[in-house]
Amino acid sequence: MKLLSKANRYYLLLATPVFLTAGLVFYFMIQAAIREEISEILDFEIEKKIEELRAQDIPLENTAEVEFEIKQVETYQDTRTFQDTVLWDHYRGQWIPYRQITVYETFEGQPFQLTFRESLIESDKLLLAVTVSLVLLFMLMVLALLLVNYFQVRKLWAGFYENIQLLRSYELDKPQAVKETKSDIQEFQELNAAIRKMTDKIRGDYLRLKEFTENASHEIQTPLAVIKSNLDLLQEEIQQEEAARIVTKISQGLHRISKINQSLLLLSKIENRQFKHLEKII
């Protein structure tokens, strides 16, 4: 996984619970504010309705309308209650949410219970619009965060990717040193210094190993050649069959040692990538 993808994953994991929590808090705050506003409207409307009823000369009767309900009760209670409820709407064929206030008043010496209701359909529509807006806002903010992070990371980590490209193109058999990437970020400056120190050490070790291999091969091959040459001369002068056989075995052993030395030298050159022209064997 790339660094940018990893960073975006962490941002999403961090942003999602934060925005979700903030969205829920904001949603319930809006809901509470709407309920409070409706409660104030109901309080005003019920007082207005009570004044209208007191101004009437006709006796009160029990009524059960959707928005206003009055009924005579046996005892008076000094309470004022707000609550949410639902009523079946025959016209719409569905349950409608309401916010209602219930108070008790005395008319002509008789206690009555008065209930005034306000539909919550509009407020629910408002909450739905707020919820949709919050979701869209969250998606836009996350998208903006990812875009900003994308361009910011590419810009900030440009020096890092340049260093990777330089290391990929670095070759030990070439004399030029690794070029440092310019950056005003302290961590990248330290990385450049570490890369320069590391490549200088690796190249120095490579050159010393190469020189040692070449010298060791030369120093070993020379005495082997001298010994083999003298054994060849000695083999021509020896007349006894047993001695000639022993000299022949010694010569064969020296020849194998010489072959092993040449093979080790070849393997060393292969490991050090001293062959520039490479072909793929099928």
* pLDDT (0 to 100) of residue 61: 65
CA-based torsion, 118, 120, 122, 126: positive or negative: positive
* pLDDT (0 to 100) of residue 36: 87
- Indicate the average pLDDT of the chain: 76
Mean pLDDT is lowest, of 23-32, 41-50, 77-86, 166-175, for 166-175
* pLDDT (0 to 100) of residue 3: 65
| Interval 100-140: pLDDT, tens | 888 888 887 888 888 888 888 888 788 888 888 888 888 88
Asked if residue 275 has pLDDT above 80, the reply is: no
Ranked by mean pLDDT, the top range of 14-18, 181-185, 230-234 is 14-18
How far is residue 212's CA from residue 214's CA, in Å, rounded to a whole number?
Answer: 6
* pLDDT (0 to 100) of residue 271: 64
Tell me, which fold does domain 186-271 have in CATH? Helix Hairpins (1.10.287)
pTM of the model: 0.51
Who has greater pLDDT, 73 or 267? 73
**Residue 281: which pLDDT band, with cuts at 50, 70 and 90?**
low
Domain-wise residue ranges, the chain: 3-150, 186-271
pLDDT average, residue stretch 250-278: 68
Name the residue among 106, 86, 107, 108 with its Cα closest to residue 97.
86
**CA-to-CA dists, residue 162 to 156, 188, 193, angstroms:** 12, 11, 14
The H-assigned helical ranges of 56-116 are none
* pLDDT (0 to 100) of residue 29: 86
**Residue 175: which pLDDT band, with cuts at 50, 70 and 90?**
low
**Residue 173: which pLDDT band, with cuts at 50, 70 and 90?**
low
- Do 68 and 115 meet the contact criterion of CB atoms below 8 Å apart? yes
| Interval 74-96: pLDDT, tens | 888 888 888 888 888 777 778 88
- Do 102 and 132 meet the contact criterion of CB atoms below 8 Å apart? no
* pLDDT (0 to 100) of residue 214: 72
How far is residue 178's CA from residue 195's CA, in Å, rounded to a whole number?
Answer: 8
% of the chain surpassing 70 pLDDT: 74
* pLDDT (0 to 100) of residue 282: 57
* pLDDT (0 to 100) of residue 257: 74
Mean pLDDT is lowest, of 39-53, 125-139, 176-190, 191-205, for 176-190
| Interval 208-245: pLDDT, tens | 777 777 776 666 777 667 777 766 766 666 656 666 66
% of the chain surpassing 90 pLDDT: 0
* pLDDT (0 to 100) of residue 177: 60
210 exposure class (CB count in 10 Å sphere: 0-12, 13-18, 19+): middle
Helix (H, G, I), strand (E, B) or coil at 168: helix
